[in-house]
Structure 1
Amino acid sequence: MSRRSPREERTPDLLAPDQDHLRPLAERMRPRTLDEMVGQRRLLAPNTALRKGIEAGHVHSMVLWGPPGCGKTTLALLLAQYAEAEFQAISAVLSGLPQVREVLAEAAQRFAAGRRTVLFVDEVHRFNKVQQDAFLPHIERGTIIFVGATTENPSFELNSALLSRCRVHVMEAVSADDIAVALRRALLDTERGLGDRHLQIDDDLLHLIATAADGDVRRALTFLEIAADLAGEGGAITEATLQQVLADRTRRFDKGGEQFYDQISALHKCVRSSNPDAALYWLARMLDGGVDPSYLARRLTRMAVEDIGLADPRALQMAIEAWDTYDRLGSPEGDLALAQLTLYLATTAKSNAGYAAFNAARADVGEYGTLEVPMHIRNAPTKLMKQLGYGKGYQYDHDVEGGIALGQTGFPDAMGERVYYRPVERGLEIRLKEKLDALREARERAREGNP
């Protein structure tokens, strides 16, 4: 690790000592130096640009994007500490524009007195455009070092003016191995952690806590603190203890955010690439995260149409039946129908020829506008219409040898013939392709007068 800077040696205690025992373990064990942070090696390893800038006290306005418990708040605190700046925090959940203006006014007074302010805005994506715009002039003037924290994709949730003035740093979920390091440190720390309780826990059980935390260091320390309270001073944290602590844990999932769309994208693409095992995993992940199974049924039905199509027409019928089965049975029994559908869609033949053909036809509709229907295929229910030529020259296919009138077109005259549907050589479309190729060749010969 890099040499500790003088600022790290002079780290102020962020927590009042007489209040430490009242605060959760996760708060007491919050890293006080960059060396104490676990995970985030891509951003904070020795000699990385961000770390060198922080250690030199040269910090910039930024947006920290990452999942809960990955260290966004801690990094903001350390930025203020290394820059010898005042740390001010507000939450977009609890604060409105009046509170924002008050904090900015205080920062301006501090700036006039020669002291900088690191303004940490938690859940910044919850601020609307007007509230976000309030920070812009202060960031430009250097009144504040803006640090926004968000679990949502900044490209979608933050306005472009704010993003143009900040560097976005992507923070990752912390690995189980790194979380285990933080847990072991808490068990040994007699000043801030649980060291004075002399607890005993096997490494495999400690790793079980780390894994159950699902990338969230704060969550892992909370699990450990509960387990320590159950074990008592000098006691052992056993597997039975952890069964109580970890019984009702849930995985990270956001039903409407980027995780949601990333996971449905993963499910769709694994079905498309004929990877049933990976597709089943993502289906299980989304069901475990609490997604509406009816939404999954709808998306799987779309896959049957878009990616399987006429290569296996049974897929669409199976999708409708699986959807109906779920509606009748509900969870968890109906989940199995969706799982079986996922496996079938992923393993059967694929073709997007129908999807591509429809898109091509729609494009021509948009390009050519409202063209007239050719006279020979117009409807002629009245005598006047027949006198005007509606339906004149139409060949009734069933009366023609072979059952297909090859010489007549179905397109408006201004367009000429078009080929939209091009079957692939997979599944049932192999046979469809053979038939259509022969028909199209015969039609071309008929149009040229060479039957």
Structure 2
Amino acid sequence: MPRKPTPAPGHDLLHVDREALRPLAERMRPRTIDEMVGQRRLLAPGSALRRSVESGRVHSMVLWGPPGCGKTTLALLLAKYADADFRAISAVLSGLPDVRKVLAEAEQRFVEGRRTVLFVDEVHRFNKTQQDAFLPHIERGTIVFVGATTENPSFELNSALLSRCRVHVMEAVSPDDILAALRRALDDDERGLADRNLSIGDDQLLLIATAADGDVRRGLTLLEIAAELADEAGEGQGGTITDAILEQVLADRTRRFDKGGEQFYDQISALHKSVRSSNPDAALYWFARMLDGGCDPAYLARRLTRMAVEDIGLADPRALAMAIEAWDTYDRLGSPEGDLALAQLVIYLASTAKSNAGYLAFGAAKRDVREYGSADVPLHLRNAPTKLMKQLGYSKGYQYDHDADGGVALDQTGFPDVMGERVYYEPVERGLEIKLKEKLDRLREQRARVRGQGGA
């Protein structure tokens, strides 16, 4: 009987449990739909998607949600329950040749009677041509397409692809659900950390769950790092995850923020609307949130200046001056010192009187410009620098307002004859515009009376 060959030195290292080498988040990936945490609405017992998954009758879909909410896990479970082959590509790493190759392989499996769940991560990063490559295969049933995106599909995916897929919105996972996932990892002696003899208090565990910021994968990664530090402190015999260890693990963490992405525009919208609603506390929160996420303070200065013009306007002209000064202060000081000037601007803009009367008036004037086109300037308003122009009637009948009673020539129109008088600017009864309204209402009433008496 042949003798078994003697393993070469170090050969036994090849038999190290590969499972143990995988990150904790990957090892603890749910194997059944019941093990998934979060997504209570989408995967509730009896829900349409859950019934579809459990029955194995899966459909092509787009999963839209933040990082770490379970998009990849759900795609894997779709393939498992449907007894289908699972293939994954990333729009970040794959080009059109890679797409064509994986589609050709799926078509071959389809001919052999096997289905393929094709998971496309970051699908929004594919251009229109790359997205179109999936269409005929989805239509024929060659693949069950599962696209994952953190961006709004309405903006990032073409309509042809969306029409062939159902969009499922996934939510950030709550701290309580992440806490459940962390405890499961601590108690699991097959895939988790139960064999580490770790000690961690409920408060410390909650800190990790909160720091995960809705991302289960991030929470498990933080727990694994903390466990390794505790194990080192315990000299390989387990240990206690202390506040000091957590302080080290959780240092310099940042909240979810995608510059130029959906969350970016959602947060600037929240800041703008909080200012408009005269809620300085909410406005300051969103301002701090965007700074914390890495937003360029110069961008925020520009948007705050826009708010001063659009939403405060002439109710408080000081707001625009203060915005320019805060912006200039930031340019001079930079971060973090200049951030305070912008923060004070946020508080002031949210606290002061609001008016969009100027914004609306400008819009109304632009609409009339489009409607009436190149209407002639009335003769009395035209400049007359030459003798010929004066002979043609330029400037004839113009009344110099400073010479009129009260400083205003009431019987003189300022609009093209084809238009007649217009009222664009209607001040609100807030801030400085209270005074402006009183004056303009009086002048408009006087002008209407003069015109009614036969004035020009």
TM-score by length of 2: 0.94
Give the match for residue 200 of structure 1: 199
The CA distance in 2 between the partners of 1:382 and 1:174, in whole Å, is 76
Give the match for residue 157 of structure 1: 156
Q: What is the CA deviation profile of residues 318-343 of structure 1, one whole-angstrom value per residue up to 9, with x for unaligned ones?
A: 11111111111111111111111111
Q: What is the CA deviation profile of residues 365-389 of structure 1, one whole-angstrom value per residue up to 9, with x for unaligned ones?
A: 0111001100001011111111111
Secondary structure (helix, strand or coil) at the match of 1:430 reads helix
Give the match for residue 350 of structure 2: 346
Give the match for residue 67 of structure 2: 68
Give the match for residue 312 of structure 2: 308
The structure 2 residue matched to 1:374, chosen from 357, 373, 378, is 378
Give the match for residue 218 of structure 2: 219
Paired residues, what number? 436
Q: Which amino acid aligns with 2:427?
A: P
TM-score by length of 1: 0.95
The CA distance in 2 between the partners of 1:277 and 1:357, in whole Å, is 30
The CA distance in 2 between the partners of 1:305 and 1:109, in whole Å, is 61
Q: Which amino acid aligns with 1:231?
A: A
Are 2:78 and 1:79 aligned?
yes
Q: Mapping of 1:174-323 within 5 angstroms?
A: 174-232=173-231, 233-323=237-327
The CA distance in 2 between the partners of 1:247 and 1:295, in whole Å, is 26
Give the match for residue 418 of structure 1: 422
The CA distance in 2 between the partners of 1:243 and 1:287, in whole Å, is 22
The CA distance in 2 between the partners of 1:93 and 1:17, in whole Å, is 32
The CA distance in 2 between the partners of 1:31 and 1:357, in whole Å, is 58
Are 2:396 and 1:397 aligned?
no
Secondary structure (helix, strand or coil) at the match of 2:199 reads coil
| 1:198 Cα deviation from its structure 2 partner | 1.4
Secondary structure (helix, strand or coil) at the match of 1:43 reads coil
Unpaired segments ≥5 residues, structure 2 = 1-14, 232-236
The CA distance in 2 between the partners of 1:318 and 1:168, in whole Å, is 45
Give the match for residue 100 of structure 1: 99
RMSD (CA atoms): 1.1
Give the match for residue 169 of structure 1: 168
Q: Which amino acid aligns with 1:445?
A: R
The CA distance in 2 between the partners of 1:234 and 1:399, in whole Å, is 93
The CA distance in 1 between the partners of 2:345 and 2:245, in whole Å, is 39
- When structure 1 is superposed on structure 2, of 258-267 and 230-239 the one drifting more is 230-239
Are 2:356 and 1:357 aligned?
no
Q: Which amino acid aligns with 1:339?
A: A
The CA distance in 2 between the partners of 1:168 and 1:175, in whole Å, is 22
| 1:401 Cα deviation from its structure 2 partner | 1.2
| 1:450 Cα deviation from its structure 2 partner | 6.6
Secondary structure (helix, strand or coil) at the match of 1:41 reads coil
Give the match for residue 442 of structure 2: 438
Give the match for residue 133 of structure 2: 134
Q: What is the CA deviation profile of residues 172-199 of structure 1, one whole-angstrom value per residue up to 9, with x for unaligned ones?
A: 1111110010000001100000111111
Q: Which amino acid aligns with 2:177?
A: D
Are 2:26 and 1:27 aligned?
yes
The CA distance in 1 between the partners of 2:347 and 2:158, in whole Å, is 41
Q: What is the CA deviation profile of residues 277-312 of structure 1, one whole-angstrom value per residue up to 9, with x for unaligned ones?
A: 000000000111111111111111111110011111
The CA distance in 2 between the partners of 1:88 and 1:450, in whole Å, is 83
| 1:248 Cα deviation from its structure 2 partner | 2.2
Unpaired segments ≥5 residues, structure 1 = 1-15
Q: Which amino acid aligns with 1:422?
A: E
Secondary structure (helix, strand or coil) at the match of 1:393 reads coil
